[in-house]
Structure 1
Amino acid sequence: MQKATISFNPRERLLWPVLLFACAVPLLLVEFPPLVDLFGHLGRYAIQTQLAERPELQPYFSYQWQLVGNLGADLVVELLAPILGLEPTVGLIVLATQLLAASGILAISTALHGRITPFAVCALPLIYAFPFQYGFLNFSLSMALAMLVFAAWLHLRQSQVALRAPLFLAVAGLTVWLCHAFGWAFLGLLCGSASLHARWTEGLRGADLVLRVLSDCGVLLLAIVPMLVWRTGSAGADTTEWSVLLKIVWLVSVFRSGPPMLDWLSAGFLAAVVLAGFVLRPVRVHGAMAIAALFCIGAFMALPARVFGSFYADMRLVPYTLIVALLALSGSDLSRSLQRVMFVAALAFLGLRIGATSVDFVDKDRLVQANLPALDVIPRGARVVNFAVEQCGFQWRLNPLRHLGGFAIARRSAFTNDQWEMAGANALTVHYPEGESFVRDPSQSVVSVECADSGLPALAHSLSNVPRDAFTHIWIHGIEPDAVALPFPASEIWRGESGIVFEINR
Structure 2
Amino acid sequence: MQGHRLHWWQTRWFVVAVVIATVIPLLWPTIPPLVDLPGHIGRYRVQLDGPAYPWLADWYDFRWSMIGNLGIDLLIEPLAPIVGLELAVKLIVMAIPALTVSGLLWIAREVHGRIPATALFALPLAYGYPFQFGFVNFALSMALALNLFALWLRMGRLGAVRLRAVLFVPLSCALWVCHTFGWGVLGILAFSAEMIRQHDLRKDRQSGHWLQSWIRAGIGCLPLALPFAMMVLWRSGDHVTGNTMDWFNWRAKVGWVIMVLRDRWMAFDLASVTVLFVILLKGVRDERVEYSRNLLLSALFLSAIFVLLPRIVFGSAYADMRLAPFALAIALIALRPKRGLSFRGASTLAAFGLAFFGVRLAGTTVSYWLYARDYDRTLAALDHVPQGARLLTMVGRSCRDDWASTRLEHAAGLALERRLAYANDQWSMAGGQLLTVRYTPAGRFAHDPSQLVTDRRCRGEWWRPLKVSLAFLPRQAFDYVWLINPPPVEAAFLTGLTPVWRSGRDRLYRIDDRTPAAVVLDPVLLPPPRPRFMQRPS
Question: What TM-score, normalized to structure 2?
Answer: 0.89
Q: What SS does structure 1 have at the residue aligned with 2:61?
A: strand
| Matches of 2:9 and 2:464, distance apart in 1 | 59
Structure 1's 396 and 472: CA in aligned 2 closer, same or farther, altered over 3 A?
A: same
Task: Report if the CA contact (8 A) 1:6-1:115 is conserved.
Answer: no
After superposition, the C-alpha distances for 1:268-308 in whole angstroms (9 at most, x for unaligned) are 21122112214432313211111111111111111110001
Aligned residue for 2:317?
311
Quote the offset at 1:484 in angstroms: 7.0
What is aligned with 2:300? 294
Per-residue deviation, residues 96-140 of structure 1 (Å, max 9, x unmatched):
112111110111111112222222211110011110000000000
* CA–CA distance in structure 1, aligned partners of residues 490 and 113 of structure 2: 60
**Structure 1 equivalent of residue 329 of structure 2:** 323
Return the offset for 1:21: 2.3
Whether the 8 Å CA contact 2:394–2:483 is kept in 1: the answer is yes
Does the aligned pair in 1 maintain the 2:430–2:436 contact within 8 Å? no
Bigger mean CA deviation after superposition, 450-459 or 271-280: 450-459
- Between stretches 381-390 and 351-360, larger displacement belongs to 351-360
Q: Which amino acid aligns with 2:167?
A: F
Q: Determine the structure 1 residue equivalent to 2:280.
A: 274
Stretch deviating more after TM superposition (463-472 or 256-265)? 256-265
2:252 is the alignment partner of 1:246: yes
1:408 corresponds, among 387, 410, 415, to 415
> In 2, distance between residues paired with 1:160 and 1:235?
42
Q: Quick check: 1:215 aligned with 2:222? A: no
Letter in 2 for 1:265: A
Deviations 1:222-242 (A, max 9, x none): 111111011112655211112
1:375 match: 382
Separation in 1, partners of 2:280, 2:377? 41
Name the counterpart of 1:227: 231
Q: 1:44 corresponds to which letter in structure 2?
A: R
Q: Check the 8 A contact 1:490/1:503 in 2, yes or no.
A: yes
Give the 3 Å change call, closer, same or farther, for CA 485–344 of structure 1 in structure 2: farther
Please name the residue that 1:139 is paired with.
138
Instruction: Tell me the amino acid that sits aligned with residue 469 of structure 2.
Output: S
Report which stretch shifted further, 298-307 or 471-480: 471-480
Encode CA deviations 1:290-332: one digit per residue, 9 max, x unaligned.
1111111111111110001000000001000011101111115
Superposition RMSD on alpha carbons, in Å? 2.1
Query: How far has the Cα of 1:29 moved from its partner?
Result: 2.6
Q: Which residue is 2:93 aligned to?
A: 94
Number of positions where the alignment pairs a residue of Structure 1 with one of Structure 2: 503
Paired amino acid for 1:36: V
Verify the 8 A CA contact 2:8 2:14 in the aligned structure 1.
no
CA deviation digits over 1:451-501, x for unaligned, max 9? 557652211111111000110000011248998763430111111124110
TM-score w.r.t. length of structure 1: 0.95
Instruction: Indicate whether 1:122 and 2:129 are aligned.
Output: no
- 2:469 counterpart (437, 462, 474): 462
> CA separation in 2, counterparts of 1:459 and 1:10?
53
Structure 1 residues 427 and 454, CA gap change in structure 2 (3 angstroms) = closer
Check conservation: 1:257, 1:356, Cα contact below 8 A: no
Q: Which moved further from structure 2: 446-455 or 109-118?
A: 446-455
- The 2-side partners of 1:160 and 1:410 are apart by 49
* 366-375 vs 165-174, greater mean Cα deviation: 165-174
Deviations 1:64-88 (A, max 9, x none): 1111111111100122112221101
CA drift of 1:7 comes to 6.0
Change (3 A) 1:341 1:470: same
Unaligned runs of 5+ in 2: 203-207, 514-538
Aligned equivalents of 2:242, 2:61: Cα separation in 1: 21
**d(CA) in 1 for partners of 2:440 and 2:503?**
31
1-side partners of 2:157 and 2:257: how far apart?
35
Distance in 2, matches of 1:480 and 1:314, equals 32
Which whole-Å CA distance do the structure 2 matches of 1:193 and 1:182 have between them? 17
Q: 8 Å contact 1:5–1:114 — kept in the other structure? A: no
Contact 1:305 1:313 in 2 (8 A): yes
> What is aligned with 2:191?
192
CA distance in 2, matches of 1:415, 1:81: 21
1:59 and 2:65 correspond: no
Identity %: 36
Partner Cα separation in structure 2 for residue 28 and residue 480 of structure 1? 32
Q: CA deviation at 1:198?
A: 1.1
Letter of the 1:26 partner, please give it: P
8 Å contact from structure 1 (residues 237, 308) kept in 2: yes
Out of 205-214 and 468-477, give the one that drifted further: 205-214
Deviations 1:35-76 (A, max 9, x none): 000000000000111101122312111211111111111100
SS of 1:240 mapped into structure 2: coil
For the Cα contact (< 8 Å) 2:9–2:15, is it kept in 1?
Answer: no
Structure 1 residue ranges (4+ consecutive) displaced by more than 3 angstroms after TM superposition = 4-11, 448-455, 479-487
Contact 1:20 1:99 in 2 (8 A): yes
Q: 2:35·2:408 contact (CA, 8 Å) conserved in 1?
A: yes
Instruction: Please tell me the residue identity of whatever aligns with 1:218.
Output: L
Question: 1:386-444, CA deviations, whole angstroms, 9 ceiling, x for partnerless residues?
Answer: 00111242201123110000111111111121000123220112111111110100000
- Bigger Cα displacement from structure 2, 455-464 vs 335-344: 455-464
d(CA) in 1 for partners of 2:355, 2:511: 53
CA–CA distance in structure 2, aligned partners of residues 6 and 152 of structure 1: 24
**Of 144-153 and 76-85, the range deviating more from structure 2:** 76-85
**Residue in structure 1 matched with residue 174 of structure 2 by the alignment:** 175
Find the residue that maps to 1:58 and give its secondary structure. helix
> Structure 1 residue 156 and structure 2 residue 155: aligned?
yes
| Within-5 A mapping of 1:484-499 | 486-499=493-506
* Residues in 2 aligned to 1:36 and 1:182: alpha-carbon distance in whole angstroms: 20
SS at 2:317 equivalent = coil
- Preserved CA contact (<8 Å) 1:493 1:502: yes
In 1: Cα distance, 2:367 partner to 2:112 partner = 34
Aligned AA (1:240): M
CA distance in 1, matches of 2:459, 2:161: 60
Deviates more, 1:381-390 or 1:27-36: 27-36
Change (3 A) 1:421 1:451: closer
Corresponding residue SS for 1:174: helix
Alpha carbons of 1:301 and 1:6: their partners in 2 closer, same or farther (altered >3 Å)?
farther
Q: What is the identity, as a one-letter code, of the residue corresponding to 1:473?
A: Y
> Which 10-residue stretch deviates more, 267-276 or 413-422?
267-276
How far is 1:8 from its partner?
Answer: 9.9
Output aligned runs, 1:390-405, within 5 Å: 390-405=397-412
**Counterpart Cα distance in 2 of 1:240 and 1:221:** 25
Query: Counterparts of 1:454 and 1:395 in 2: how far apart (Å)?
Result: 15
| Cα gap change, 1:214 to 1:392, in 2 (>3 Å) | closer
